[in-house]
């Protein structure tokens, strides 16, 4: 059975800790087959609870992985905590870049700086011949970063080993530190650390 968060006597949620990171997610509170069926006000309440009632302790950084879009969760977070910045994650194709553009514009309108853009699923390297395939197109993240006048923090390839290690619950950076994805994740993290310190 999967580890679940516990609570303190003061009714604070103790996050799960793995690989030196403290983690909290709705997924930790639900059974694997239970859907999270939540309307806007419930999403807002849970988001505020995770920000205010989780016993985070002393942190170097608090990162929030948000769903795409410009909805209730994003607005709640902006209204609840002071953000150092936002990172926009996209894939290279235009339909994803449209959402990335909207997210960047929303953060600008609420005075949250966009620290940079990450292009996910940038390409796939065939294990048989080493040839690079741009399944979702190429150059979209780079063009969008220039358009937004923010740095392109990284281009993360699609990688079978990353999917397999994720299915085992092991981050690729912990399993194969020299893999192309781990190398790119480390580069992105270092770029962000320099930006924020």
Average pLDDT estimate for 172-176: 91
- Band (75; pLDDT cuts 50, 70, 90): confident
Residue 196: phi and psi, rounded to 5, are: -95, -10
The reply to whether 48 and 89 lie within a common domain is no
The reply to whether 20 and 97 lie within a common domain is no
Res 143: pLDDT: 95
Average pLDDT estimate for 100-127: 93
CA dihedral 115, 65, 99, 93 (to 10 degrees): 90
DSSP secondary structure of 86-130: EEEEE-SSHHHHHHHHHHHHHHHHTT--EEEEEEEEEEEE-TTT-
Residues 142 and 122: their CA atoms lie apart, in Å, by: 10
Q: At 164, which CATH number?
A: 3.40.50.300
For the chain, what's the residue count?
197
- How confident is the prediction for the chain on average, in pLDDT? 88
Q: Which residue carries 């310190």 as its tokens? A: 197
Per-residue pLDDT tens over the stretch 36-67: 666 667 777 778 888 888 999 999 998 988 87
Res 123: pLDDT: 96
The reply to whether 31 and 114 lie within a common domain is no
The reply to whether 108 and 47 lie within a common domain is no
Expressed in angstroms, the distance from the first to the final Cα of the chain is 39
Res 94: pLDDT: 92
Domain assignment of residue 172, given as a range? 83-196
Residues 130 and 51: their CA atoms lie apart, in Å, by: 44
**Of the candidates 159, 165, 164, the residue with the CA atom closest to the CA atom of residue 181:** 159
The reply to whether 110 and 54 lie within a common domain is no
Is residue 39 packed enough to be buried (19+ CB in 10 Å), middle (13-18) or exposed (0-12)? exposed
The reply to whether 2 and 51 lie within a common domain is yes
Q: DSSP 3-state assignment of 4? A: coil
Average pLDDT estimate for 140-162: 94
Domain assignment of residue 66, yes or no? no
Q: Which of 43, 59, 75 is the last residue of a domain?
A: 59
Q: Which residue carries 């390409």 as its tokens? A: 123
Residue pair 193/115 in contact (Cβ under 8 Å)? The answer is no
Q: DSSP 3-state assignment of 153? A: strand
Res 25: pLDDT: 83
30-44, 56-70, 96-110, 137-151: least confidently modelled range: 30-44
Domain assignment of residue 171, yes or no? yes
Number of structural domains found in the chain = 2
**Of the candidates 23, 29, 36, 28, the residue with the CA atom closest to the CA atom of residue 67:** 36
Res 40: pLDDT: 66
Res 64: pLDDT: 87
Q: Which of 59, 74, 104 is the last residue of a domain?
A: 59
Average pLDDT estimate for 63-90: 84
Res 1: pLDDT: 41
Per-residue pLDDT tens over the stretch 129-143: 989 999 999 999 999
């Amino acid at each position: 059975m999967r580890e679940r968060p516990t609570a303190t006597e003061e009714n604070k949620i103790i996050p799960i800790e793995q690989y030196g990171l403290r983690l909290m997610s709705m997924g930790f509170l639900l059974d694997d087959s239970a859907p999270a069926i939540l309307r806007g006000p419930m999403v807002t309440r849970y988001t505020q609870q995770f920000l205010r009632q989780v016993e985070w302790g002393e942190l170097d950084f608090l990162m929030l992985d948000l769903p795409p879009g410009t909805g209730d969760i994003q607005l709640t977070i902006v209204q609840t905590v002071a953000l150092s910045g936002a990172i926009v994650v996209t894939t290279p194709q235009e339909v994803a870049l449209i959402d990335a553009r909207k997210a960047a514009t929303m953060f600008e309108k609420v005075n949250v700086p966009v620290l940079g853009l990450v292009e996910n699923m940038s390409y796939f390297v065939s294990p048989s011949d080493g040839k690079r395939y741009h399944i979702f197109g190429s150059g979209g993240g780079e063009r969008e970063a220039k358009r937004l006048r923010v740095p392109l923090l990284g281009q993360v390839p699609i990688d079978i080993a990353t999917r397999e290690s994720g299915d085992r619950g092991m981050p690729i950076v912990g399993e194969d530190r020299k893999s192309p994805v781990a190398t790119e994740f480390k580069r992105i993290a270092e770029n962000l650390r320099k930006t924020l310190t």
